[in-house]
Amino acid sequence: MKHLEVAALVLIENNRVFCAQRKANGPLGGKWEFPGGKLESGEDGKSAIIREIREELGIEIEVESLVMTTEHQYDSFSLTMHAYLGKKKAGKITLYEHQDSKWLDADQLHDLDWAAADLPVVDAVLQLLRR
């Protein structure tokens, strides 16, 4: 079975978190996620998330800390996800790989249909927002 290692961005501004919806016609189509993507060969999580966010959202970010690493088994592949807290340094968010996005308060986070691998990160983000 295929195993993927990915990095995801937790972007919080004004006590709201950025969430992105996957395109309907791909793997996990229509599900919500923290944006990011696969680590390339020899790449660490921090480098991957900076590159992926530039490609997917068109912004430059600064990685602040690792929120958590989680594992998930889907039907056709397994996943290791490194979720990083980051902040926007430059640019305006443009959706190149997603069909929609939202900025949500803590009490709205569980209203979305999240990709299963992102659910543990949602719970960790709730703790961050409620500090």
pLDDT confidence of residue 31: 96
Mean pLDDT of the region 18-33: 92
pLDDT confidence of residue 28: 84
pLDDT confidence of residue 130: 85
Q: Which fold is adopted by the domain 2-129?
A: Nucleoside Triphosphate Pyrophosphohydrolase (3.90.79)
Q: Is the pLDDT of residue 27 over 80?
A: no
Q: What is the C-alpha end-to-end distance of the chain, expressed in Å?
A: 39
Q: Distance between CA 118 and CA 88 in Å, rounded? A: 21
For residues 40, 42, 45, 48, the Cα torsion angle rounded to the nearest 10 degrees is -40
Summarised one tens digit per residue, pLDDT across range 48-97 is: 999 999 999 999 999 999 999 999 999 889 999 999 999 999 999 999 99
**For the chain, what percent of residues have pLDDT higher than 70?**
100
pLDDT confidence of residue 1: 85
pLDDT confidence of residue 124: 96
Q: What is the mean pLDDT of the chain?
A: 95
Instruction: Judge whether 8 and 83 are in contact, CB under 8 Å.
Output: yes
Q: Distance between CA 102 and CA 41 in Å, rounded? A: 31
Q: Distance between CA 41 and CA 57 in Å, rounded? A: 22
Q: Is the pTM of this model over 0.85?
A: yes
